[in-house]
Amino acid sequence: MAEPFSEHARLAAEIERLKAEFPKTRDLYREVCALLFFRFGVTPTANRLYQLVHRGSMSTPTAVLSEFWADLREKSRVRIEHPDLPAEVRHAAGELVATLWSRATAAASAALDGLRADVDAQQRDAQQSVAALQVDLARTETALEQRTSALLTAQVRIHELEQSLAAAETERAALADELEPLRQRAREQEATLANAQATFASERDKLRAAVELADTRCQAAEKRATLEVERERVANERLQRDADAATRTLTDARAEIQALQKQLGDLRHRNGTLEGQLEALRDTSAAYARELSAWRDNAASAEAAQRGAARARSADAAKVTKATKATKDAKVGKVTKGARRAKPAAATPPPAGGTRKTRGGGSGPRSGS
């Protein structure tokens, strides 16, 4: 399908060239006849000529075509003029030469057709190459346009970024001027916060030490209470009459253990409260920057309040310790008196170490609390 279309295109191009070269209609038709017959190997007809040229009337290509065939027949004849040859010989010689000329023309036409086929093949290859090059050129142009557009966009973006950078640099300089006093205030606040943290850390360490000591004493009291229970059980087997007193002693010991555990829970709760206050102080340290002026005015009073609270807590702890010790001493005295009263009626005297252990076990955790 591509070859006839290419031949038709070449024919149309040649006809357009002839139209420009031969403005007269008859001359144009005559050249088109020669073009069709000699170059393209097509037998011209009047209808074909008129479809290609579209000039004049139908009689014009008919007349020109008749003249073309007549001229062609006249030119194909070969006349041999020689005075010594007879007319039949001259005619036969002319026919022979005409036959030779026809065969030569046919051979030349065949060679021309082969050459034309080669030229057409080369032309098709060239057209395919041109088409491929045009596609590559279109792709290259598209890529170039895209890169040009991207380059323009990048240049615009660079310009915008340069403007933004200049504005940011100006703003940074202004912020640096404002940041220096804030940094000074922040350093002062950090120093104050460090002092407060050190104070709270010291208080927390003391509370932790107290809690650990209370835990140790509570464990020792539990062990001593367990031993006391075992000893009381042995004494209960030996001294049936002292069963009630021993039972009351055991109940009192358990109550003391519960009281110690309650005091231990209170100390742990107080420790957790102080740790929560410490975390709250850390969270509120961020707000010290906005409230620096007010904090300076209230710093002295806050510190005095904290010292007073610490002294109050120390005083409360001392009071609780004294009260616990007094209560324990009273209970131990009662237990000792009961044991002494029950001693004459016992079959075998109870071991004295049990009462002493009870006194020691009860007084240890209370003094620690």
- pLDDT (tens digit, 9 = 90+) per residue, 221-231? 788 878 888 88
Q: Is residue 75 a part of any domain in this protein?
A: yes
Instruction: Please tell me the predicted confidence (pLDDT) of residue 24.
Output: 92
Q: Is residue 161 a part of any domain in this protein?
A: no
Mean pLDDT of 64-89: 72
Residue finishing a domain among 110, 136, 162: 136
Say if residue 343's pLDDT is above 60. no
Q: Is residue 301 a part of any domain in this protein?
A: no
Say if residue 233's pLDDT is above 90. no
**Structural contact between residues 369 and 320, judged by C-beta atoms closer than 8 angstroms:** yes
Is 335 found in the same domain as 241? Answer: yes
Q: How far apart are CA 314 and CA 310, in angstroms?
A: 6
* The model's pTM: 0.27
pLDDT band at 241 (very low <50, low <70, confident <90, very high): confident
Mean pLDDT of 25-41: 90
Q: How far apart are CA 344 and CA 362, in angstroms?
A: 26
Is 217 found in the same domain as 112? Answer: no
- Name the more confident of 367 and 259: 259
Instruction: Please tell me the predicted confidence (pLDDT) of residue 138.
Output: 86
| 325, 330, 334, 337: CA torsion to nearest 10 | 90
Mean pLDDT of 159-164: 88
Is 130 found in the same domain as 14? Answer: yes
Instruction: Transcribe 160-179 into DSSP letters.
Output: HHHHHHHHHHHHHHHHHHHH
Mean pLDDT of 151-173: 87
Q: Is residue 114 a part of any domain in this protein?
A: yes
Question: Can you tell me which residue has the tokens 């357009």?
Answer: 16
Is 125 found in the same domain as 8? Answer: yes
- pLDDT (tens digit, 9 = 90+) per residue, 123-151? 788 778 888 888 888 888 888 888 888 88
Q: Is residue 214 a part of any domain in this protein?
A: yes
| 76, 81, 85, 89: CA torsion to nearest 10 | 10
Is 205 found in the same domain as 98? Answer: no
Q: Is residue 302 a part of any domain in this protein?
A: no
Cα→Cα distances 314→32, 181, 308, 320, Å? 130, 41, 10, 10
Angle at the Cα of 53 from the Cα atoms of 49 and 54, rounded to 5 degrees: 105
Q: Is residue 335 a part of any domain in this protein?
A: yes
Is 344 found in the same domain as 221? Answer: yes
Residue finishing a domain among 136, 167, 183: 136
Residue finishing a domain among 136, 166, 188: 136
Instruction: Please tell me the predicted confidence (pLDDT) of residue 25.
Output: 92
Is 201 found in the same domain as 131? Answer: no
- pLDDT (tens digit, 9 = 90+) per residue, 172-214? 888 888 878 888 887 888 888 788 788 878 888 887 887 688 7
Q: How far apart are CA 110 and CA 120, in angstroms?
A: 15
Mean pLDDT of 96-107: 66
Instruction: Please tell me the predicted confidence (pLDDT) of residue 26.
Output: 93
Say if residue 327's pLDDT is above 90. no
**Structural contact between residues 15 and 53, judged by C-beta atoms closer than 8 angstroms:** yes
Is 121 found in the same domain as 241? Answer: no
Is 347 found in the same domain as 212? Answer: yes
Instruction: Please tell me the predicted confidence (pLDDT) of residue 17.
Output: 92
List of long-range contacts for 64-73, beta carbons under 8 Å, 24+ apart = 64/26, 64/29, 64/30, 64/33, 65/29, 65/33, 67/30, 68/30, 68/33, 68/34, 68/37, 68/44, 72/37
Mean pLDDT of 8-14: 88
- pLDDT (tens digit, 9 = 90+) per residue, 299-319? 888 888 888 888 888 887 788
pLDDT band at 47 (very low <50, low <70, confident <90, very high): very high
Is 260 found in the same domain as 123? Answer: no
Q: How far apart are CA 295 and CA 279, in angstroms?
A: 18
Where in the sequence is the domain holding 112, given as residue range(s)? 2-136
Domain total for the chain?
Answer: 2
pLDDT band at 21 (very low <50, low <70, confident <90, very high): very high
Instruction: Please tell me the predicted confidence (pLDDT) of residue 345.
Output: 45
Q: Is residue 233 a part of any domain in this protein?
A: yes
Say if residue 357's pLDDT is above 50. no
Is 229 found in the same domain as 83? Answer: no
What letters, b where the CB count within 10 A reaches 16 and e where it falls short, cover 232-267?
beebbeebeebeebbeebbebbeebbebbeebbeeb
- pLDDT (tens digit, 9 = 90+) per residue, 78-101? 554 555 556 676 566 667 666 766
